[in-house]
Chain A
Amino acid sequence: MVTRLPDVDVVLVGFGWTGAIMAQKLTDAGMEVLALERGPWRDTPTHFPTTFAQDELRYYWRHGMFQEASQETLTFRNNRSQMALPMRRWGSFLPGNGVGGSGVHWNGQTFRFLPSDFVARSHNEERYGPLPEDMTVQDYGVTYEELEPHFDYFEKICGISGEAGNVNGEIIAGGNPFEGQRSDHYPCPPLQMTFSQDRFAASARNLGLHPFPGPAANLSQAYTNPLGMQLAPCTYCGFCEKFGCGNYSKSSPQTTIIPALMRRNNFALRTNAEVLSIERTPDGAMATGVTYVDAQGELYFQPAGMVILCAYQLQNTRLMLLSGIGAPYDPQTGQGVVGKNYCYQVMSSVDVFFEEEYTNEFVGAGALGMVVDDYNGDNFDHSGLGFIGGGYIACWTTNARPIETHPVPEGVPTWGSAWKKSVRENFLKSTSVGLHGASMAHRSNYVDLDPTYKDRWGRPLLRMTYDFTLNDRRLTAHITPVVKDIARGMGGREIKVNNRRGSYDSMPYQTTHNTGGTIMGTSPADSVVNRYCQSWDVPNLFVTGAGLFPQNAGYNPTDTVAALAYWSADAIVNQYLRAEGPLVQP
């Protein structure tokens, strides 16, 4: 039996960053908002206090912070000629679970995309001519200038620590000279850099590049945000990504928004509530609410005036497919939109090993780093290079957690006495310089429903078909040598180049930056939602998250994910509530 519950104005599916943002803005507007979260409640003193937050085995290797693959996973293959098999345990990316979602276990690297990233097709075609036919790169339909106030607001919610490079058109020394124009400075000064960043910055400057401090959601000083939430200075403990912060020093939904929401009478949250489908009127034109299952296996129908998808990119896309909303993407014909333009991130790196100096990388923070943006987006001339996009190059000191991080030089075996000795010799004396590359959409990379594998409710798993593209390979082949030059200039004994080679491997951890599948755009023929993140097919259904990205830029996604959520919430409050219906006419 399915129990029908009392109506609410808005139901949010998932309660991480974008759920908290939507709840904040829509309860501000007086709406009755209910968030349904599949995982459990989580708070700092109960789940990751400083007395036991620094537990590498539990939180990373035993996946204490993440969705359980037994609850829901996906299948994976590199291309359509292969059989997709389930990711039986997580590897290359780590979807979150529970209140706060992945916003609890992120590093806090908080970049804005470049203005040209939002108009990737028109900008690049205007400058370089037509893109290859198989590159399904698109414009967002929303511009950097339109998102700027929302970037600025989210950065103030988080208390981002950084150095602005362009405030109202004025270029500021020490910031990123390539960034889009900002309306204000970062709310907090940059974190204090360590030895590795100092060496990186000096080497980059010698090469004529423009290093700046990575914008960090790790607080450089005590800070009170616009909602009155208080954050504490970061203690550089080196347990950010894959961990919760016990010290209230990392901006997360828990530390910046949720406590304010919990005091509001028009907000409620139900945990252990897994949404199974979005329900619609018999003609399919409007959403009526969602069906969910609770921890006891009981089914409920939650009616709502609006449904907003706030889960992770993979689950938002799957829920659209399972609910039959929007035409599924077909890679053979190029028709259909749901599941289209799955993108990721293309990484390479160069390790640096010092002889005398100690890098002491256990003194670290998730977004403690110096960055150069000279090779990101269209900050350099791509004429004749055969690819578009780029990436930032950075020296982050995030951790020296020893199960995960024990780099050894080229030629050292992977176990035994020689390996052990090399780990000891280099553990305190190494660092890494990484390229964080863009991932451009390609016709053959997509997600759909798996024909074979099911979840515990008997519903098809999502199936990912993905491999690195020619654009990706050319991008890393062009920029990795720059990474190498910077690394070589840092004064170490030797370096080790980790090139981006071969097919995408779903197991070694790379990054939790999965994008696309519910992409935004200017036409229902090639996007799932319009420029306000509203479904083209069902006007009282909105979608948030990195699934909106038509392709992924050379940056971490959270700042742009959050700005899009605030932008969408603004459109709901100021336009949709006044005249319910499509905000853009196709």
Chain B
Amino acid sequence: MAPVMSRRAALKGLIMTTTALALPGVVLGREYGRGAGVPWEPGAADIPYYGTRDEGFLTEAELTTVRAIAARIIPSDEDGPGAAEADVVTFIDRQLAGFYGRGQHWYMQGPFHEGLSTQGYQSEHPPAQLYRLALPELDTYCDAQYGSRFSSLSEANQDAVLTGLDEEEITFETVSAKTFFDLIVENTIEGFFADPIYGGNRDMIGWRYVGFPGARYDYRDFVGHNGARIDLPPVSLMGGPHWTRQ
């Protein structure tokens, strides 16, 4: 924290103490313009963080529970595939391992207070840590109530437990059960519908299920559809499945 303090101290005495005259471009990170035109570098495309097979955050036990929860939020049933076929758990695992799981872009300074419903996420734990603390508490509750961990319960009992979290009838000791539930619902929907580069929505199964054509960028031929179905196979940022699998 020392550099921050010295900067702050420097700020206070600013006007009186400014001295050295520096040359732009020498001391500065990056300056543009001055007749140089728009900068451009080859191969500089700013690709996303998507996680890889080697990266993960959750333990085997945690993966099992998350997989089971996601499978009840978006179930596999007679109407079509769900979080299991879309491999949502892999999506969540990779997200928790990255900047999102660490809450790196979120404001995570204290003090922490519970907050009102209009004030949003107020946990002192970033998403990955929230999962880590909530999952064992969930199993503790299930064990006390049903004599087994969440992933081993019947679907009906799993739904009853999740409803209890959603409706704030079940609470945890260390974290807000409702905050955890809302977050895992959000992450499951993300994993079902995000581009497959992130590990979920495998083979664009979520997009096929609802009829979303994916990462296309030109629908000019279809603007005048006048209420008729547009049946286009989906395309991912990686292309179509027929590009890689025969």
Chain A residues within CB distance 8 Å of chain B: 1-6, 41, 43, 45-47, 49-58, 61-64, 68-70, 73, 76-78, 82-83, 85-89, 91, 192, 194-195, 198, 233, 235-239, 246-247, 258-259, 261-265, 267-273, 276-277, 279, 282, 288, 291, 293-301, 354, 356-360, 362-363, 400, 402-403, 406, 414-417, 420-421, 423-424, 427-428, 452-454, 456-458, 503-507
Contacts and interface: CB of A to CB of B under 8 A. Distances in A.
Contact of B3 (A45, A297, A421): A297
B227 A427 contact: no
Contact of A57 (B103, B122, B190): B190
B90 to A, nearest CB: 14
Interface stretch (B58-66, B139-147, B216-224): B216-224
A66 B154 CA distance: 43
Given A271-B29, A402-B207, A238 B115 contact: no
A272 B31 CA distance: 10
Given A53-B217, A57-B195, A416-B73, A4 B21 contact: yes
A247 B4 contact: no
Given A192-B224, A268-B24, A414-B185, A54 B30 contact: no
A235 B212 CA distance: 17
13 contacts: A2-B14, A2-B17, A3-B18, A3-B20, A54-B216, A89-B120, A195-B226, A262-B36, A263-B35, A300-B27, A415-B72, A420-B74, A424-B209
Contact of B218 (A237, A291, A294, A360): A237
Nearest to A48: B46
Contacts of B48: 52, 55, 58, 64
Contacts of A297: 3, 7
Contacts of B77: 417, 420
A86 B107 contact: yes
Given A267-B34, A415-B185, A457-B7, A70 B20 contact: no
Contacts of B47: 52
A414 B189 CA distance: 11
A295 B30 CA distance: 10
Interface in B71-109: 72-75, 77, 79-80, 82, 99-100, 103-109
Given A363-B222, A457-B7, A291 B24 contact: no
A270 B28 contact: yes
A454 B1 CA distance: 14
B111 A452 contact: yes
Interface stretch (B37-45, B129-137, B170-178): B37-45
Contacts of A53: 217
Given A4-B18, A297-B7, A457-B7, A88 B45 contact: no
Contacts of B195: 55-57
Given A89-B120, A299-B10, 14 more contacts: A4-B22, A5-B21, A51-B45, A52-B47, A54-B217, A57-B190, A61-B194, A77-B119, A264-B35, A291-B11, A356-B227, A414-B185, A416-B75, A428-B211
B79 A420 contact: yes
Contact of B225 (A195, A239, A354, A400): A195
B159 interface: yes
B14 A301 contact: yes
Contact of B113 (A85, A268, A416, A504): A85
Interface string B115-127: 1111111100000
Contacts, number: 293
Contact of B11 (A45, A299, A360): A299
A81 to B, nearest CB: 11
A269 B31 CA distance: 6
Nearest to A27: B33
Interface-centre pick from B159, B162, B219, B223 (highest chain A CB count, 10 A): B223
B67 to A, nearest CB: 16
Contact residue range for chain B? 35 or more
A49 B15 contact: no
A288 B15 contact: yes
Interface string B225-246: 1111110000001000000000
Interface-centre pick from A87, A195, A360 (highest chain B CB count, 10 A): A360
A89 B118 CA distance: 13
B27 A298 contact: yes
Contacts of A402: 193, 206-207, 210, 212
Contact of A423 (B29, B46, B116, B210): B210
Interface of B: 3-5, 7-8, 10-11, 14-15, 17-22, 24, 27-41, 44-49, 72-75, 77, 79-80, 82, 99-100, 103-109, 111, 113, 115-122, 159, 162, 166, 185, 189-190, 193-195, 198, 206-207, 209-220, 222-230, 237
A248 to B, nearest CB: 12
Contact of A70 (B80, B106, B215): B106
Contacts of B45: 45-46, 49, 51-52
B194 A236 contact: no
Contacts of B3: 297
Contacts of A57: 190, 194-195, 198
B38 A83 contact: no
Interface-centre pick from A47, A57, A91, A300 (highest chain B CB count, 10 A): A57
Given A57-B195, A263-B37, A507 B118 contact: yes
Contacts of A70: 104-108
A89 B107 CA distance: 7
Given A45-B45, A279-B15, A505-B117, A363 B219 contact: yes
Contacts of A4: 18-22
A357 B106 CA distance: 42
Contact of A358 (B10, B27, B31, B230): B230
Q: Which 3 A-B pairs have the closest CB atoms?
A: A357-B227, A57-B194, A4-B18
A225 B211 CA distance: 38
Contacts of B166: 414-415
Nearest to B226: A195
A402 B204 CA distance: 12
A427 B212 contact: yes
A235 B30 contact: no
Contacts of A198: 226
A423 B73 CA distance: 13
B38 A43 contact: yes
A196 B228 CA distance: 12
Given A358-B228, A363-B225, A507 B120 contact: yes
B14 A270 contact: no
A54 B217 CA distance: 7
Contacts of A298: 27
Contacts of B5: 458
Contacts of B116: 77-78, 82
B224 A5 contact: no
